[in-house]
Amino acid sequence: ALSIGIVGLPNVGKSTMFNALTKNNVLAANYPFATIEPNVGVVPLPDVRLKRLAEIFGSEKILPATVSFVDIAGIVRGASEGEGLGNKFLANIRESDAICQVVRAFVDDDVTHVDGRIDPASDMETINTELVLADLQTLESAIPRLEKELKGKKIDKAVLDTAVAAREVLEAGDTLSAKGAAAGVDMELAAGLGLLTTKPFIYVFNVDEDQLTDTDLQERMQALVEPAEAIFLNAKLESEVAELEDDEARELLESVGIDEPGLDQLARKGFNTLGLQTYLTAGPKESRAWTIHRGDKAPQAAGVIHTDFERGFIKAEVVSFDDLDALGSMADAKAAGKVRMEGKEYVMVDGDVVEFRFNV
Ligand code: GDP
């Protein structure tokens, strides 16, 4: 499954946020036999549509889609030199599909900052510099190797060109996810070279409670990380919210002026950043969201439920959630002509409620 690695300087609130994430752990609740790694938090993707589907179909259970976060400890200045913790750190990042960087914006004299001052822009630069240096090291050994391989006609020229173009972006101090595509770097080939900064980034600003509604500050921070997504949350508040029942949680959130937990936003934006979307299935047993890649066709979507469904795919019976919601039942949706039969070439749309027909 795809996962998002959480990184950040020491004392920015990573552990606090990660604890809040794991209190939300849906794996434990829904899949009692799954083994859970201590540094992995599996969080539900909030989806109000599932509740409505459960109502329509009288489902016993609701199973949301999930997003996995991996707590990657140990980035410090010099991590790219790969000593001790550094190596483990880089290996963990390599395995992640996206990178979530936690940045401290909150002010608290009782919590030491590694550099002695609160400066989000400089903190992001410290971390990104380590990742950029790691990629430059990768290229330092890769480029001579690729030159030889090209002479021996073992690779396409495009691969070497990508490596050289990537080096130029990195030497200017930029990550490939921020500047690579604009500079003409083939991002797929660059990712194939094992370059870490090709991975999509999400930034989480750990802000003070009064900054949660400070739109000026948030716009400034968002501008710093463009084109990546930024999320603003207070890690301490999130860990309190994660322990409360829905009603109490809502009251606490309202008291600081926000209408949903920051972690819900994080799950949603993480899901988008990974290039994922969901489709829905529903019946008396469960209403469930399934994870697919944007652009997947019906047979691939069926394959997420079971590989046999993909192999034996015949067609998909599809109704959009909005139509089903408005009409109130499958029978009424059918009577209104809103239930379609779709074939192999159908590209799934977010919110499709589906039943697959297949041969075994
Ligand atoms: P990590 O080193 O990045 O994992 O940081 P921790 O999660 O251990 O947090 C470091 C310290 O900052 C702890 O004492 C936390 O209680 C505190 N802390 C974390 N988030 C916040 C926050 O949003 N506001 C304030 N005031 N303190 C926080």
Number of compact structural domains in the chain:
1
3-state secondary structure of 170: helix
Q: Does residue 158 lie in a domain region? A: no
Residue ranges making up the domain that contains 334: 295-358
- Opening angle at CA 339, ends 326 and 341, nearest 5: 160
DSSP string for 222-251:
HHHHTTSEEEEE-HHHHHHHTTS-HHHHHH
Q: Tokens 């029942």 label which residue?
A: 245
Q: Span 340-351, mean pLDDT?
A: 96
Mean pLDDT in the chain? 90
pLDDT band per the 50, 70, 90 thresholds, residue 173: very high
For 58-83, write each residue's pLDDT tens digit: 999 999 999 999 988 766 566 666 55
Q: Span 256-274, mean pLDDT?
A: 93
308: domain CATH number is: 3.10.20.30
For 117-140, write each residue's pLDDT tens digit: 888 999 999 899 989 999 999 999
Both tokens of 329, joined, read: 């039942």
103 beta partners? 205
Position 89 scores a pLDDT of 80
Q: Does residue 163 lie in a domain region? A: no
- Using a 6 Å cutoff on CB, does residue 236 contact ligand 1? yes
Q: Is residue 61 a contact partner of residue 53, using CB atoms and an 8 Å limit?
A: no
pLDDT band per the 50, 70, 90 thresholds, residue 182: very high
Tell whether 307 is in a known binding site: no
Position 218 scores a pLDDT of 94
- Residue 106 Cα: closest atom of ligand 1: 24
Tell whether 11 is in a known binding site: yes
Q: Does residue 222 lie in a domain region? A: no
- The least confident of 5-14, 277-286, 326-335 is 5-14
Phi, psi (5° rounding) for residue 291? -95, 125
Q: Whole-prediction pTM value?
A: 0.87
Q: What is the DSSP letter of 196?
A: G
Q: Does residue 349 lie in a domain region? A: yes
Q: Does residue 80 lie in a domain region? A: no
Burial of 229 (0-12, 13-18, 19+ CB in 10 A): buried
Strands (E) across the chain are located at: 3-7, 40-44, 61-63, 66-71, 98-104, 201-206, 229-233, 276-282, 286-293, 313-320, 340-342, 352-358
Q: ipTM greater than 0.90, yes or no?
A: yes
Q: Does residue 53 lie in a domain region? A: no
- CA dist., res. 78 & res. 81, Å (int): 5
% of the chain surpassing 70 pLDDT = 92
- The least confident of 9-13, 216-220, 300-304, 349-353 is 9-13
Mutate to test the pocket of ligand 1, among 11, 104, 232, 237 (most ligand atoms within 8 A of CB): 11
- Using a 6 Å cutoff on CB, does residue 104 contact ligand 1? no
Q: Does residue 309 lie in a domain region? A: yes
Q: Is residue 77 a contact partner of residue 321, using CB atoms and an 8 Å limit?
A: no
Position 24 scores a pLDDT of 62
CA of 132 to the centre of ligand 1 (A): 26
Q: Does residue 303 lie in a domain region? A: yes
